[in-house]
Amino acid sequence: MGAVLGLGVGVGLVLVWLAFTTPRPVARRTGGPGRLRETLDRAGLAGTTAAGVWTVCGVTALVAFVVIQVVSRTATVALAFAALAGYLPLAMLAGRARRRQRELAEVWPEAVDNLASAVRAGMSLPEALTQLGVRGPEPLREPFVAFGIDYQVTGRFTESLDRLKVRLADPVGDRVVEALRIAREVGGGELGSLLRNLSGFLREDARTRSELESRQSWTVNGARLAVAAPWLVLFLLCFQRPVISRYASPSGVVVLVTGAALCVLAYRLMVRIGRLPVERRVLA
């Protein structure tokens, strides 16, 4: 019995010693970039950090809180407007990302046509891509100028394409880049017809999406107006301190919180009903 007990204690001590001396494996990050980082890339703000965006949100919320507090002398109302102001930079960033993606979708057919013309004129594929930085559509010139410099420095077409995809951060750009990669790997005999077919498909897709967006824009604008109206009235009430001070009471806080929750719920529901399918970067 004593031998068994001693053996058990010895094994336990060895296990404890191994637990403290064995190096822990480094955890690998399997997730991709965060949602805010992806929004920054789609908005064309690759040089902006997520921490910078959160800083702007915090400063905006603080300024709004101070201003409303000075005007209304009601902390609960100031907190409500501070939350709205803190969300404003994120909403503007998301709007910029949507506008940029829509703008790129409109100019990609022209860019693909330029590529097809360059290839038909006898240019190599890297040369055709590089010349888009000079003769291509204005919104796409900067990424392709960077691609030309990158390819001249490294001479590696595949890696330069990968970095081009990162700079573009666009679903349509992913499809174009992957089509060019496949054409390069299997041979460029059908590259001209591939580019012409791709241009026609992109132009038809952009036309259809533009028509749908113009028809459903009234839904989104109506939802924004319906959400903004109560808060505009509340802001005007801030100049009447006897009235706005009632929101400092417990019942006033309940009204503010309930109203904010209903506005957020109604807005998200209206936007979700009228939202068109968003193309995702499945090839990123």
- Confidence grade of residue 28 (pLDDT, cut at 50, 70, 90): very low
Domain ranges of the chain: 38-274
pLDDT over 70, % of the chain: 83
Cα–Cα distance, 172 to 132 (Å, whole number)? 16
pTM value is 0.72
Cα–Cα distance, 146 to 102 (Å, whole number)? 22
Cα–Cα distance, 120 to 111 (Å, whole number)? 14
pLDDT digits (tens, 9 = 90+) for 107-165: 888 888 888 888 888 888 888 888 888 888 888 888 899 998 998 888 888 888 888 88
Cα–Cα distance, 44 to 143 (Å, whole number)? 10
pLDDT digits (tens, 9 = 90+) for 75-97: 889 999 999 999 999 989 988 98
Cβ atoms of residues 180 and 129 within 8 Å: yes
Tell whether the torsion through CA atoms of 181, 32, 282 and 141 is positive or negative.
Answer: negative
Closest CA to 76 of 251, 239, 267: 251
Over residues 255-281, the mean pLDDT reads 79
